[in-house]
Each structure stands twice: as structure tokens, then as C-alpha cells.
């Protein structure tokens, strides 16, 4: 085929470098694309972040589009029905590639640091237990770290139990209420997509059940719409437990100010902003595009030329006690610092500047992964 035209969001780390060997790269700014979709007129490939909503408005401006490459975990910014409609109208496929699992290590480190931040006595509590709601890539990465730190955990994932014909045995929702921490790692799905839809799944009833149990901290790093907004606002206004640690919000990059000011922890969708993970993500979707379009083999190393621009912040070897590495983890993943700076920037910004404040705070959390040597992933 002719050399493809590849539109690449300028804010995708290494995106321009990654796709440069595959075709004619046209860099763009996400806000410009939203205001002027005609930028897509000649595009064969669109490389976009989760801030770009691919719907009929964009698709109608992209008559030559064959591939969407989105180096993120989820696909809820892709309106699947609109993609299917465009495919039927054009008579050819529009393939969508994403990168599930690429940033799971960073997400897991964020959760561990959030637990230590919100519950500083966790390391000394007897029979401390974490409930992992969703046992995919991120849930398993967290479980591996908790096991290394000798922290008990359970996993709640009924769809996985069904999908594995019972090889994985899910905990129950009442088991979650018996945990000190519940952390959510689920895809965003509706009733048309899953028998266990997750959109708005955590509302007043679930929050009350968790509050009535032992749960003192609820973390969400999946998608903001997993939480029912009005129920969360009422929950925080009532001063009832559990505390909230949120990294994702409905309406990003301009979420409700109450969702930023109210939780114990609020960071700007940066849990997965680890350099190694970002590099893995763009490498994965780049290779998917190359194979799908049958382009010549070209090399994209897993480390940039000259290495990453900062050192690994921490290496953990062997089975440690949580208290032995607590201080180092908090330094490597400074949750309180990110929360303070995000709140100050976002809440003081004019309404028209909040999106820019959100994105700047997100970039401010970019870091290297903690290196967990010889970590064993659960199955």
C-alpha cells in the first residue's frame, strides 16, 4: 500500500518517534482536533489518547481511516457503535488497537502508596487485608506486590470466574466489606456489553455496605464513571467512611470540583504515568498497526536512545515487610504531594483553564516504575 498518513497526538510519549518509520506522521493537538475534525481528512491511522472521543463526528471527517491506535488500557473513549456504523457505510474495517496491561505496574505502585498515605498505620495492623475488585492486569500486578510485602488480599471478579469455568474462584461482595481497603480495577462497561456492567456500579448501596463493614479506604484507578457521581458527593458530604482515593474522574479533563476537593486522595489520572509503561504501550500499538497494514519490519527499542531521562526510584528484592519499605515507596510515589499540587492548581484555575491545569498535573506525575525484582504474578 502507499505510505500511510498517520495522525499522532503530540502528547503521546514517543508517539512521533514510534510511527515515523511507518508512514507520513502528522502531529496534532487533541484540543485542535476536537475543534476542527477536518484535520483527519487524509488520515489512514489515528494515534490518540483517552482524551479524544472517537465518535461519528470524528469518523465522518476521516473517510480514509483504517486504524485507530490508542496506547492506553481502556477503550471507553471509542464509541464502538459509531465505528461499526462507519465500517458498514464504507465497506471496510476500522481496526482499533489499545494496550491493556502496559501500565499495570505503575497503577499497582500508586495503590500501594495510596494505602500507606491514607492509612499510615497499615503496616502494623494485625490481619490487614486488601480487596481487589477486578482481577485483570492491574489487579494481578497489585496482588503480586501485596504478596511480596506479606499483605493479605482477596480478589472479587465474578466475570473472570465464569470466563475461566471456575478455575479462578471469586470472592464475594460481602468478603470485600470485610477488608480494610477495596481497590477497583475494572473496565467500563454497560449492560449491552457485559452481564456485569460496571458503569455507575458503585452507588449509595455499595458505599453504605462498605461503610458498614471494615472498609476504611476505597481506591479507584479504573474509570471515573464506575462511581455514581451524586452518591459519592453525598457520601463525602455526610462524612461517612470509607475514605476515597481517586485517580480517575468522570468528565476528564474537567471533572466536578467536588470530586477533586472532597476525597482523601485525588490525583490527575497519573497512576499509570510510568515511562516504561508508556513506552510499552506505544510500542504495542505501533507493532499492531505495522502488522495490520503489512508494513515493512522496523525496529522500535523498548528503551529510548540514551535511556530514560531519570533513574529507577527504588528497587525491592525478596519478601519485605511493608513497614521496611514504607518510607521509600512514599518517596518514589509521592501521593500527598501530587494531591496537594493538583488541588491547588485545579481549584484555583478559571473554568476555562481547568483542562490545562488537569493535563499539567497529569504530566507532573510522570515517573519511572519501582523495580520489583523477580516478582511472581498470580494466575
Would you state the cell numbers that stand for residue 187, as one nine-digit string?
473496565
Catalogue the E-assigned strands of the chain: 5-9, 24-28, 45-47, 67-69, 95-97, 129-133, 152-156, 181-184, 217-220, 243-246, 265-266, 315-316, 371-372
- 245 and 217 Cβ atoms separated by less than 8 Å: yes
Catalytic site includes residue 235: no
- 179 and 129 Cβ atoms separated by less than 8 Å: yes
Would you state the cell numbers that stand for residue 262, as one nine-digit string?
472532597
Catalytic position from the list 228, 252, 326, 359: 252
Catalytic position from the list 148, 223, 367, 368: 223
Q: Chain-centre distance of CA 179, in angstroms?
A: 23
- 154 and 179 Cβ atoms separated by less than 8 Å: yes
Catalytic site includes residue 252: yes
Catalytic position from the list 269, 279, 286, 368: 269
SS3 (DSSP) at 137: helix
Catalytic site includes residue 223: yes
List the Cα angle 357/368/140 in 5-degree steps.
Answer: 100
List the beta bridge partners of residue 154: 131
Within 75-169, where are the H helices?
A: 80-90, 104-118, 137-148, 158-163
Return the active site residues. Answer: 223, 252, 269
Amino acid at each position: 500500500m502507499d505510505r500511510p498518513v498517520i495522525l499522532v497526538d503530540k502528547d503521546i510519549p514517543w508517539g512521533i518517534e514510534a510511527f515515523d518509520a511507518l508512514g507520513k506522521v502528522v502531529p496534532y493537538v487533541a484540543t485542535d482536533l476536537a475543534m476542527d475534525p477536518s484535520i483527519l481528512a487524509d488520515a489512514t491511522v489515528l494515534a490518540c489518547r483517552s482524551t479524544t472521543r472517537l465518535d461519528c463526528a470524528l469518523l465522518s471527517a476521516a473517510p480514509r481511516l483504517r486504524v485507530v491506535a490508542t496506547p492506553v488500557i481502556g477503550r471507553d473513549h471509542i464509541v464502538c457503535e459509531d465505528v461499526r456504523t462507519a465500517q458498514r457505510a464504507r465497506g471496510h474495517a476500522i481496526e482499533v488497537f489499545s494496550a491493556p496491561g502496559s501500565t499495570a505496574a505503575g497503577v499497582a505502585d500508586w495503590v500501594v502508596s495510596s494505602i500507606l498515605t491514607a492509612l499510615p498505620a497499615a503496616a502494623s495492623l494485625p490481619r490487614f487485608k486488601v480487596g481487589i475488585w477486578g482481577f485483570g492486569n492491574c489487579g494481578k500486578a497489585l496482588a503480586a506486590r501485596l504478596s511480596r510485602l506479606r499483605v493479605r488480599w482477596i480478589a472479587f471478579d465474578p466475570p473472570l470466574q465464569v470466563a475461566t469455568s471456575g478455575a479462578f474462584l471469586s470472592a464475594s461482595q460481602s468478603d470485600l466489606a470485610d477488608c480494610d481497603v477495596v481497590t477497583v480495577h475494572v473496565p467500563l462497561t454497560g449492560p449491552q456489553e457485559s452481564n456485569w456492567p460496571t458503569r455507575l456500579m458503585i452507588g449509595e448501596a455499595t458505599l453504605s455496605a462498605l461503610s458498614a463493614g471494615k472498609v476504611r479506604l476505597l481506591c479507584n484507578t479504573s474509570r471515573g464513571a464506575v462511581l455514581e457521581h451524586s452518591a459519592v458527593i453525598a457520601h463525602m458530604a455526610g462524612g461517612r467512611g470509607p475514605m476515597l482515593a481517586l485517580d480517575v474522574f468522570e468528565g476528564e479533563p474537567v471533572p466536578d470540583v467536588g470530586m477533586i476537593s472532597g476525597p482523601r486522595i485525588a490525583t490527575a489520572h497519573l497512576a499509570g504515568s510510568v515511562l516504561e509503561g508508556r513506552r510499552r504501550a506505544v510500542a504495542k500499538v505501533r507493532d499492531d498497526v505495522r502488522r495490520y497494514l503489512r508494513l515493512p519490519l522496523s525496529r522500535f527499542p523498548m528503551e529510548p536512545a540514551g535511556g530514560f531521562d531519570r533513574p529507577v526510584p527504588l528497587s525491592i528484592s525478596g519478601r519485605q515487610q511493608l513497614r521496611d519499605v514504607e518510607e521509600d515507596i512514599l518517596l518514589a510515589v509521592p501521593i500527598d504531594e501530587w494531591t496537594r499540587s493538583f488541588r491547588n492548581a485545579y481549584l484555583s484555575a478559571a473554568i476555562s483553564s481547568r483542562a490545562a491545569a488537569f493535563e499539567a498535573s497529569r504530566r507532573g506525575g510522570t515517573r519511572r516504575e519501582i523495580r520489583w525484582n523477580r516478582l511472581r504474578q498470580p494466575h
